[in-house]
Amino acid sequence: MTPRAELRTSARLLVRDLAQLATPAGRDAPLRGPALGEIELIEDAYVLCTGETVEAVGRMRDLPAVAGEVVEVDGRGLCAVPGLVDCHTHAAFGGDRVDEFSLRAGGAGYEELHARGGGILSTVRATRAAGEDGLRAAVERHRDWMLGHGTTTFESKSGYGLDRDTELASLRAIRAAGGVPTWLGAHAVPPEFEGDADSYLDFALGDVLPDAAQLAEAADVFLERGAFDVAQARRYPRGLP
């Protein structure tokens, strides 16, 4: 049984004999400015967790007696650092844009790619075709890549469906994978509303937002030339209903 599986039946985890433990020195969160660079470094350290909460950290020589059932992990030769938090990702999408790489490398901007039928709208086509199972698999794959590189909390936006069913499927896939979902309903104007951003917002805010609000933690707008302007962005409600 793996330590992760054992923790489902055991309340405590002890990572012991770490070569180093590095953690932000400030105890008050969120940290800002120079405080972000202040690090507390502990040699020959332990981390004791209860459920999903870090109960204590310190030097091995100061480790108190731990009663009850404990899963122990040997941390010799390793360094423990806090998990990374990625507050802006796009994990729910289908297809890729490898064919645009040379254009971007040559200096093509968002508006030029959009005019050629690429950019966001090319991903919209692939995302709609992926279906809910495909989106779920994509988000899980991207989550696992992030986790493998130390990201333990991630926010992810929808915004590559731009229709009701695909947007909601994207949010469900993000939530199911353990991410923090954001509804990016105003990412671009989809082909069926081409040239009429205001009518698309009427649809998105009236027909999609009420259900998206049951799944998402926040809502977002792409404020950019060729996408949505300030007046359109202000049509978003200040809080999700």
pLDDT tens digit sequence for 117-153: 667 888 999 999 999 999 999 999 999 999 999 999 9
Architecture in CATH for domain 86-233: Alpha-Beta Barrel (3.20)
Per residue in 206-228, pLDDT tens?
999 999 999 999 999 999 888 89
Residue 175 neighbours by CB under 8 Å, 6+ apart: 181, 215
Integer Rg of the chain from CA: 22
Please tell me which of 44-58, 102-116, 158-172 the model is most confident about, judged by mean pLDDT. Answer: 158-172
Q: Provide the phi-psi class of 136: left if phi over 0, else alpha when psi is between -120 and 50, else beta.
A: alpha
What pLDDT score was predicted for residue 25? 82
In contact, 69 and 12? CB cutoff 8 Å: yes
Asked, colleague to colleague, whether 3-82 and 86-233 share their fold, the answer is no
Q: What does pTM read for this prediction?
A: 0.82
Domain 3-82 superfamily per CATH: Urease, subunit C, domain 1 (2.30.40.10)
Show me where the domains of the chain are located.
Answer: 3-82, 86-233
